Amino acid sequence: MSKPRILLQLDPDVHPSVFDAVVAVDAGVEHLLQYRGVTVDQVPGLVHGAIFTRGPQDLKSTAIFVGGAEVGAAEELLRRILQTFLGPLRVSVMMDANGANTTAAAAVIAAGRHVRLKGATVLVLAATGPVGQRVVRLLAREGARVRVGSRVLTRAEDVGAKVRERVEAAVLEPLATARDSLAAAMQGVSVVISAGALGVELLPADVWQTCATLEVAIDLNAVPPWGIGGLEASDRAASRNGVICYGAIGIGGAKMKIHSAAVARLFQGNSQVLDAEEIYAIGRELEGAESTGREGGK
């Protein structure tokens, strides 16, 4: 009989994320152990508690989720967790601070539903935030030509350099995306993904509506004004001006499914490390299963 599923929720914030806790329970976690204000120095003690208690055959029933609002802090925790594992004495671990990995995965999968990403020109607005950086990384891995947008060119260049460290063959063009240069930035683009801060319009309607090459527009900002003017947060493959549009709520449903499936996946073995690419792969599997189901139901 398998042991109860235990998830250690390690969170650098003052309060461990309620959102992450609810998703974990709904994904089948039976005991959620929450730790707040976690620092890198505290990681070995916490991890030892997870790996030294159950026998090797039962380690797959214990897993770790790293969350919190600060992706940088969570990345440090993840690194330390992986260093603390001792060969086969390890448990599976997922990192989704700020929802960055699951949201980026859902956005890129939505784009790939309508456009062949390999070779496509994609503009990512506000590509410097935690979500935008992962969107760029996943698109680059898919072989898209990515225009990396920021209000400040050097910030866009920094993101480009960071992504190239992970994706050697990335085709990236860092850009300063001031209002008066947006039309030029949109030239030849087939997908635009806006990953800007809440309540800030980054792309006015008249700019994307006059872009002849645009096929898909995706906005991740859930607080009005929306990041892309003329869209609605609830858009899910809505056709507007001949462009397929997704808003933050339209992407949010898929994001939730990916998050939940990734947590459940943690308990299928004790050696999984779920970061952006692995979470994206889980999202792609779900997408494949759903489209097979749709075709089967025809």
Ligand X SMILES: NC(=O)c1ccc[n+]([C@@H]2O[C@H](COP(=O)([O-])OP(=O)(O)OC[C@H]3O[C@@H](n4cnc5c(N)ncnc54)[C@H](OP(=O)(O)O)[C@@H]3O)[C@@H](O)[C@H]2O)c1
Which stretches of the chain bind ligand X, using CB under 6 A? 98-99, 103, 126, 128-132, 150-152, 155, 195-198, 200, 220-222, 248, 251-252, 255
Q: Which of 200, 237 has the CB closer to ligand X?
A: 200
Both tokens assigned to 268: 């299928």
Indicate the residue among 38 and 193 with the shorter CB distance to ligand X: 193
Bridge partners, residue 216, by sequence: 191, 244
Phi (first) and psi of residue 34, to 5 degrees: -105, 130
State in angstroms the smallest separation of the CB of 262 from ligand X. 14
Q: Which is nearer to ligand X, 67 or 130 (CB)?
A: 130
Is the distance from CB of 106 to CB of 121 less than 8 angstroms?
A: no
| Nearest distance from C-beta of residue 155 to ligand X, angstroms | 4
61 vs 150 by CB, closer to ligand X? 150
Q: From the CB of 149, what's the least distance to ligand X, in Å?
A: 7
Cis (ω within 30 of 0) for the bond into 225? yes
Minimal distance in Å, beta carbon 62 to ligand X? 27
Phi, psi of 190 (to 5 degrees): -100, -20
> Is the bond preceding residue 174 a cis peptide, omega within 30 degrees?
no
* Amino acid sitting at position 112: G
Closest CB to ligand X among residues 102, 121: 102
Give how far the C-alpha of residue 44 lies from the chain's centroid of Cα atoms, to the nearest Å: 26
Nearer to ligand X by Cβ, of 117 and 127: the residue is 127
User: Furthest-apart CA pair in the chain: how many Å?
Assistant: 64
Q: CA 147 to CA 187: how far, in whole Å? A: 11
Least distance between ligand X and beta carbon 223 (Å): 7
State the minimum distance, in angstroms, from the CB of residue 241 to ligand X. 22
Q: Return the residue nearest ligand X (CB atom).
A: 129
What's the token pair of residue 264? 């459940």
Residue type, 149: G
Smallest separation (angstroms) from ligand X to the CB of 162: 13
Tell me the C-alpha distance between 225 and 85, whole Å. Answer: 45
Angle between helix axes 153-166 and 130-141 (nearest 10 degrees) is 50
Q: Identify the H or E element spanning 123.
A: strand 121-125
| CA distance linking residue 207 with residue 243, whole number of Å | 13
> Rounded to the nearest whole angstrom, what is the least distance from the CB of residue 61 to ligand X in the complex?
29
User: Which CB sits closer to ligand X, 5 or 137?
Assistant: 137
Nearer to ligand X, 205 or 222 (CB): 222
